[in-house]
Structure 1
Amino acid sequence: MKVLVAGASGYLGRHVTERFLSAGFNVYRYQRSNAGGVPICCEPTRVDEVGLEDFDVVINCARPHWSQYEPEQIAQIESELLSKLELYASPNAIKIHTSGVWLFGHATKAELHRFEHKPFESVERDVETIHQVLTRNWHVVYCPSLIYGGEDCQLRRILEEREDTAVDVALPSIGYNQYVHVADVAQFYLDLVVSHACNGKQHFIAEDKGYSPLAFAERLQEYGVITCINRYSWEKYQSKFASNAVDIEKLHLDLPISKHFSTNHKIDDYLAAWLES
């Protein structure tokens, strides 16, 4: 089977690519050339040796970074990318798009189970993209706001890039966040392709156990990842950080995790290994 991965050089895409390669699939990267944005598949086959509608599996792990683009630009770029990726999908291809839980930032528990989008303002335009791909028979996988583990771990990078070893928390800590290991995400994508066992086209994946921002900061401190916690009132927290940061801090979603998702890694184990190192 031929698999095309967009964003294969990114954090998640790299692990997805490696997982499919290790399972014996023929994996190709999708990227745009610097001249005119012409799509090419590389390593090992050139695009002129791979026809359109030639891929059995198409996976999108790419997303423009919020620090470089406005929300409207991100939505437009992503929508255009998905349209281009569809050109490479065979008529019966399995197509998987990676999204996030911010699209449900204001959802109730009942709305989560119905996959009703209640997005944060910063991702409102992304709802249009999700509706489009669902009508085109894509799977949409919603990952939590923090994916950790593996090569170039996001959690490690975020913390190591800080100038200090403190975490800022607003009190009272009213949010609830879940996490997922990057290898478990990659395995779920492989399972979607191999087993065809997943009903529906939308999937939440995350570890069962979650934490409030304060509880998670306390875990980081317990394992020696940080040295202290800066506690703020909500008024002071909102005056110091952007509205996006406030939304994230207040994010409280107890996700109805897909019954087909398996947790083979836990963040407590990762933090314990950090402590031993």
Structure 2
Amino acid sequence: MLIEAGTSAGGARPKAIVRHKGELWMAKFARETEFSEPMAWEATALALARRAGVQTPEFELVRLTESRSILLTRRFDRENERRVGYISAHSLTTKNDHFRNHGFLRRHDGWTLSPVFDLEPDRRPEQVEATPIVNGGEQFGRDIRELRDCHDIFRLTPDDAEGIIRDVADRTADWIKIANDYGISREAAEASKRALAGPNRDRALAMAPDGSQTQTPPPTRRSAQKRRGDLGMPGNSGQWARKPS
């Protein structure tokens, strides 16, 4: 049952509030000009995140036609029709729109991470500028090993960080089958491999499952700085790195 259309939930795609299973859910639609099954891809991304151990909202994909579907997600900011306090990471950091896609929920004992939402693989074939993994890190050609190298921020040892990264890569290895299960053709999935089966997956799979041994040389902060200089990009200090002579 439709409750409200054209909500203030934000985002690039049209949404509506519906009552589903006796609760409030968000219905998300593709734009009229989109024919690449973005809702099926978002459902695939949510399924992969859940498989990787990331908390996701309850969700369902409703197929309308062979190339059209609606994504339904349960409102995690509601409990028994009562609003749960929510603040986005963007509100705390004011960095960029990527931080609007996750945030914190107010519980009786404090703030806790919310489930993830608005996940969709960037399937464009060209090189895409993206939020760096670490402060001052790469915006183009990001390296998953940079995430491992900032393990101390997450109170992890280097071995534990490697083990988690490898575990996520293993759990999401059959992403093509999951995409197929949501109605995405094998041809369309193969055409989108850049987003889900690129060099970072190879780097992750090269890490030992128990984190006991790294089979790929780690990128040091110094080498990352040098790469940024080669690309003519700012270094960690915010100043332009000097290209090696």
Of Structure 1 and Structure 2, which has the larger fraction of its residues in helix?
A: 1
Same-fold call, TM cutoff 0.5: no
Query: TM-score under structure 2 normalisation?
Result: 0.27
Higher relative strand content: 1
TM-score, structure 1 normalization: 0.25
The structure with higher relative contact order (CA 8 Å, sep 6+) is 1
